Amino acid sequence: MVTLFSALFFRKKRDNTIDTGQRNLIHKKLLSLKNYRHEDQFLKKMRFIVFDTETTGFHPYSGDELLSIGAVAIENGKIQEDHIFHCYINPNRTIPGHISELTGIENHHVESAPSFLSVFSNFLDFKSHSPLIAHCAAFDFNFINVKLKSHKIMKIPNKSLDTMKLASHLLNGGDGFTLDDLLHQYGIPTTKRHHALEDARMTAKLFIHQMEQLENEGVRTLFELEKFIKYKNDLYQLNQASFNSSF
């Protein structure tokens, strides 16, 4: 059976209605994530959740809101097409015209959608303790964490990977690290861009390619990947320091 979380199964609940029980439940789930410790495992045996968001703009501190969250699961090195997540979110504001043109999300799609808290709580159930993956992850995490802060809820403490940063480590320069650039470089067909679920699915395909590259680099487990990323980050900072000192 396909596991599909859809906004169709929720009633609208405005964000300005404080649901203390729901807020406490989310806080409890996030504390569980904070206290969870991943064991070292082969990357190709792990379960990852690759996700993406759509928003009304780029500035969560200036009134922009989340419109949707989409996610797919990777397990045993393959996308689990029977285990996906996609929900619209009621932003409690109108969607700018250029955003509707970009994403295909119109006001009527979200006016009866659930609140952020409702969707995020179900997203946490979907992801469980699996590490999160996103492309340009800081953007998505920033929007989510700003919304959590507005409800006096802690930030997401989960382990996460950024396929954009990972690409910069693996490609040593490359021809650009946007999702479109990397889809082209890896020969991954582009489906529907700026749709949270489809972007998550394409990012998942990208990460599967990156796992193959990592294996060629001798990186096969979660702890080896953490060491690899730390080494590349330290090397970058060292090179930047050397560059700056030359002026």
- Per DSSP, the three-state class of 172 is coil
Active-site residue, selected from the candidate residues 86, 108, 194, 209: 194
Count of CB atoms situated within 10 Å of the CB of 160: 17
Q: Is 194 a catalytic residue?
A: yes
The answer to whether 110 and 90 have CB atoms below 8 angstroms apart is: yes
DSSP-derived secondary structure letter, 77: T
Angstrom distance (rounded) from CA 148 to CA 156: 9
Residues 26, 28, 34, 36, CA torsion sign: negative
Are 112 and 12 in contact by the 8 Å Cβ rule? The answer is yes
Environment class of 68 (CB within 10 Å of its CB; exposed 0-12, middle 13-18, buried 19+): buried
**DSSP bridge pairs for 49:** 73, 132
Tell me, rounded to whole angstroms, the distance of Cα 82 from its chain centroid: 19
- DSSP secondary structure letters along 124-151: HHHHTTPPEEETTHHHHHHHHHHHHHHT
Q: Name residue 114's amino acid.
A: P
* Residues annotated as part of the active site: 194
